[in-house]
């Protein structure tokens, strides 16, 4: 089994297409043009670059993996419209309650089995995630990542907006080595929590790759938004310094 069995394309921000077991999984859909999004009080999130694909160009997907629904950099207006045609949206329990429709909520470590077109199943398991420092949940909200597994395919991990290496260690302990890790790695910071990290930064992404034993790391959610503090160059430097440059796959 090789990483090439899992094609992954990142289109900007957190939006990526993962083809796994004959199914098409889309992470955190964001298709709006660059703009400002008020998020309460005077706070604003600014999208700085367009997504590299439109819903029409993308075509139908089988499952949306939505780490959380409460922030526009993970689900914008066009992304919400996209969910209306998605056969299945897997997300947080609270998010499913807000979204309705085809949304199904997953608690951390709960799973669903999906039928593959040519027989067999894919299991999607919700991985725990923490979108900021300890104790941030009442303000930031509930977030999950995802694990994709099948008997004949290498495991894929999607971190979602996770900032906790302790949770990465828990995931590695429970699952064993990961073949491909899609890590949200822009070092997101806002004025909340005194500028504490809300997602992994580049050095932490490299450390997460080592913890997971990942053979391939596909970074996402490190560009196209003004609140990301690190990008492509810092990722390359961090993985090079960690001796993991050969594992990094940047589109």
Whether 2 shows a pLDDT value over 50: the answer reads no
pTM (predicted TM-score): 0.94
- Determine, yes or no, domain membership for 237: yes
User: Is residue 99 situated within a structural domain?
Assistant: yes
- Residue 67 carries which DSSP code? S
Domain count, the chain: 1
Phi, psi of 153 (to 5 degrees): -130, 150
- The answer to whether residue 250 sits within a structural domain is no
Q: Record the tokens describing residue 88, joined without a space.
A: 């299945």
pLDDT, tens digit (0-9, with 9 covering 90-100), for 54-68: 999 999 999 999 999
C-alpha dihedral sign at 192, 197, 200, 202 = positive
The answer as to whether 159 is a domain residue is yes
- Cβ partners under 8 Å of residue 150, min gap 6: 20, 21, 116, 120, 121, 122, 123
* Token representation of residue 154: 């290498």
Q: Kindly report the CATH number assigned to the domain that includes residue 102.
A: 3.60.15.10
- Write out the residue range of the structural domain in which residue 235 sits: 3-243
The three-class DSSP label of residue 103 is strand
Whether 249 is covered by a domain: the verdict is no
Q: How confident is the model at residue 229 (pLDDT cuts 50, 70, 90)?
A: confident
Average pLDDT over residues 79-94: 96
pLDDT at 132: 63
Domain assignment present for 248: no
8-27 pLDDT, tens per residue?
999 999 999 999 999 999 99
């Amino acid at each position: 089994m090789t990483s090439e069995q899992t094609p992954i394309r990142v289109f900007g921000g957190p939006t990526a297409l993962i083809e796994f077991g004959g199914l098409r999984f889309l992470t955190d859909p964001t298709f709006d043009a660059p703009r400002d999004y008020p998020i309460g009080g005077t706070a604003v999130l600014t999208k700085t670059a367009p997504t590299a694909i439109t819903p029409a160009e993308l075509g139908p997907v089988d499952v949306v993996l939505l780490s959380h629904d409460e922030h526009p950099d993970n689900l914008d207006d066009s992304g919400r419209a996209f969910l209306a045609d998605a056969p299945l949206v897997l997300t947080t329990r609270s998010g499913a309650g807000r979204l309705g429709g085809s949304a199904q909520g997953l608690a951390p470590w709960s799973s669903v089995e999906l039928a593959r077109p040519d027989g067999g199943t894919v299991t999607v398991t919700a991985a725990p995630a923490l979108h900021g420092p300890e104790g941030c949940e009442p303000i930031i909200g509930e977030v999950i990542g995802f694990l994709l597994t099948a008997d004949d395919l290498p495991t894929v991990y999607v971190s979602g907006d996770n900032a906790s290496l302790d949770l990465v260690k828990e995931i590695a302990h429970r699952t064993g080595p990961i073949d491909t890790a899609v890590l949200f790695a822009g070092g997101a910071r806002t004025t909340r929590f005194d500028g504490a990290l809300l997602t992994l930064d580049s050095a932490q992404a490299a450390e997460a790759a080592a913890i997971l034993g990942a053979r391939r790391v596909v970074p996402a959610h490190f560009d196209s938004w003004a609140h990301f503090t690190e990008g492509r160059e810092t990722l390359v430097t961090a993985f090079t310094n960690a001796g993991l440059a050969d594992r990094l796959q940047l589109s």
